[in-house]
């Protein structure tokens, strides 16, 4: 089936009432047929609903639909994108382990990996996404996962996915792509051999800035990389918290299953059914919206490139971009999503320009139907040190745009006036 059809139908079987819209199962818990049924569900002898912290029928449709669009075998929804990233790490790494992460990632991912998980005894080693060969020197036998973004936020670099996967395969390490900006419509990391994707579904998936959410998607046959692999011992040895279950022995997608059974069970962070329902509404129009976001962003990037006050434009859809070839390779028809950034002379000029726009809202979000302008150095990336800012490619004069779905010409006029 084609993408637009999957976006509207995948994962949903109509109930006896023939309900066209996916129902919202706004419930905390589910009644068991009897105590034996309950015991069977807890023992995984039967699969079924137990409690909404673990699973929910509305969220289940969202997970199946998202996995179908991304080309994965299973997915697990979380309360936010940050929860998804944390669970992807916590599912493989523990004190004494290390993970490898691109320097150019969302600010929350930088603080999570550089500060918070350090306190759990997990070390993060960073590589420049523009130079994947740096990964080789960072790997040792305690390395558990390599994480990078398909298009980086906010420095707008396109990752050379094949080059990173090649190094990871050599060392049998799990790879995880944050495909939030790429979206499952424009970019398919799993088809390039990536093992997992994570998304903040708070962005393009919900599409109108309506709900927080996150998701982890698992590729088919990930068990082949994990079974017997000494890096992932806890998937290959009995889980004492689950009656001695050995995940790599199960005929089920094991990574997302372990997130559900162990991490959602113990840490919470599950999505609300209503937010899953909003995400389902978003997915229905995602393929259509991404075309418009991408074509408007390209027109705006072309305009900015010719403006005398703009020193540099970062948008891989531009023919002049050093990353144009990578965007052509990894993004559907070269459509490079709705995020772009550009540099003006100074921090003050960047802030004055953002304040002078009328259609663009000064907001720290992306992927909304409403256009957004952000000054990362004073907001999303404020907690980063000067060194971290430079490493993440965020000079003071950098302005980020999340191009929405308004008329393209109106957006260009708004920027023209604001730049003066």
Footprint of ligand PLP on this chain (CB under 6 A)?
80-82, 106, 108, 149, 153, 178, 180-181, 200, 202, 212, 214, 366
Residue with the closest Cβ to ligand PLP?
81
Calculate the CA 278 to chain-centre distance: 17
* Residue 391 or 413 with smaller CB distance to ligand PLP: 391
| Shortest CB 151 distance to ligand PLP, Å | 8
Name the residue among 292, 300, 282 with its Cα closest to residue 400: 300
Name the residue among 358, 365, 393 with its Cα closest to residue 379: 365
| Shortest CB 392 distance to ligand PLP, Å | 12
| Shortest CB 99 distance to ligand PLP, Å | 16
* Residue 180 or 197 with smaller CB distance to ligand PLP: 180
Name the residue among 46, 52, 58 with its Cα closest to residue 29: 52
Torsion of Cα atoms, 402 then 403 then 406 then 410, to 10°: 110
* Residue 181 or 254 with smaller CB distance to ligand PLP: 181
| Shortest CB 153 distance to ligand PLP, Å | 4
* Residue 11 or 271 with smaller CB distance to ligand PLP: 271
| Shortest CB 84 distance to ligand PLP, Å | 8
Look-up of token digits 């920027």: 415
Q: How far is Cα 258 from Cα 281, in angstroms, rounded to an integer? A: 28
The CB density around residue 149, as the number of other CB atoms within 10 Å, is 25
| Shortest CB 322 distance to ligand PLP, Å | 21
Look-up of token digits 């960047």: 350
* Residue 203 or 225 with smaller CB distance to ligand PLP: 203
| Shortest CB 121 distance to ligand PLP, Å | 23
Name the strands in the sheet holding 372-374, side by side, starting at the edge strand that comes first in the sequence. Answer: 312-314, 339-343, 398-402, 372-374, 361-362
Those residues with Cβ within 8 angstroms of residue 160's Cβ, 6 or more apart along the chain or in another chain: 132, 326
Tokens of 1: 């089936």
* Residue 11 or 214 with smaller CB distance to ligand PLP: 214
Q: How far is Cα 258 from Cα 243, in angstroms, rounded to an integer? A: 14
* Residue 226 or 394 with smaller CB distance to ligand PLP: 394
Those residues with Cβ within 8 angstroms of residue 134's Cβ, 6 or more apart along the chain or in another chain: 127, 128
């Amino acid at each position: 089936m084609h993408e637009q059809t999957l976006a509207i139908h995948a994962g949903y079987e109509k109930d006896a009432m023939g309900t066209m819209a996916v129902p919202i199962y706004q419930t905390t818990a589910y009644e068991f047929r009897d105590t034996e049924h309950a015991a069977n569900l807890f023992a995984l002898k039967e699969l079924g609903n137990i409690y909404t912290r673990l699973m929910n029928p509305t969220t289940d449709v969202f997970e199946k639909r998202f996995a179908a669009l991304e080309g994965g075998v299973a997915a697990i929804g979380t309360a936010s994108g940050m929860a998804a990233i944390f669970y992807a790490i916590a599912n493989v790494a523990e004190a004494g382990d290390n993970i490898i992460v691109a320097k150019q990632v969302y600010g929350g991912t930088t603080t999570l990996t550089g500060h918070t998980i350090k306190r759990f005894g997990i070390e993060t080693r960073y590589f420049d996404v523009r130079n994947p060969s740096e990964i080789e020197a960072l790997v040792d036998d305690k390395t558990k996962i390599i994480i990078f973004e398909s298009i980086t936020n906010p420095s707008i670099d396109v990752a050379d996915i094949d080059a990173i996967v090649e190094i990871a395969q050599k060392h049998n390490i799990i790879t995880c792509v944050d495909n939030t900006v790429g979206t499952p419509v424009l970019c398919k990391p799993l088809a390039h051999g990536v093992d997992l994707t994570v998304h903040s579904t708070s962005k393009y998936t919900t599409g109108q800035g309506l709900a927080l959410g996150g998701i982890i998607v698992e590729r088919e046959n990930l068990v082949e990389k994990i079974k017997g692999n000494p890096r992932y011992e806890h998937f290959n040895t009995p889980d004492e918290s689950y009656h001695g279950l050995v995940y790599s022995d199960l005929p089920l997608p094991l990574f997302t299953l372990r997130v559900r059974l162990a991490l959602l069970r113990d840490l919470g962070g599950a999505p609300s059914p209503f937010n899953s329902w909003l995400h389902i509404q978003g997915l229905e129009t995602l393929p259509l919206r991404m075309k418009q976001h991408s074509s408007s962003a390209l027109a705006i990037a072309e305009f900015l490139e010719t403006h005398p006050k703009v020193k540099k434009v970062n948008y891989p859809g531009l023919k002049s971009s050093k990353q144009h070839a990578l965007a052509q390779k990894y993004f559907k028809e070269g459509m490079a999503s709705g995020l772009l950034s550009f540099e003006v002379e100074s921090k003050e000029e960047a802030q004055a320009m953002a304040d002078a726009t009328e259609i663009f809202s000064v907001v720290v979000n992306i992927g909304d139907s409403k256009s957004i302008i952000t000054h990362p150095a004073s907001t999303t990336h404020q907690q980063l040190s000067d060194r971290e800012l430079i490493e993440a490619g965020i000079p003071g004069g950098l302005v980020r745009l999340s191009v929405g779905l308004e008329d393209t010409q109106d957006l260009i006029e708004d920027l023209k006036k604001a730049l003066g």
